[in-house]
Amino acid sequence: MGRYLLDTHAAIWYFNGDKALSKTAREIILELSNQIHLSISSAWELAIKVNLGKLEFNGQVARFVCLAETYGFNKLGMRS
């Protein structure tokens, strides 16, 4: 069992099924014995970059947080 802090882009790529996410990263995320963590900083970064037009994300920050919960990620500093 491992513990991993997921990068913002890696989370977005995973949620969107993007091929930019490496096979190794996908395997780590999918391994049920691993604990995957996602920081509140990722939601903050997503909101800023989307508002500046530097990043596209199909949905809002609330959807990002809900996806984290759906996939069973530990949300560090986030409330449900």
Neighbour tally for 34: CB within 10 Å: 13
Angle, alpha carbons 24-44-65 (nearest 5°)? 65
| pLDDT, greater one: 55 or 19 | 19
pLDDT band at 25 (very low <50, low <70, confident <90, very high): very high
Cα within 13 Å of Cα(34), Cβ side: 16
Domain count, the chain: 1
**Domain range holding 37?**
3-76
8 Å CB contact between 36 and 7 = no
Q: Is the pTM of this model over 0.95?
A: no
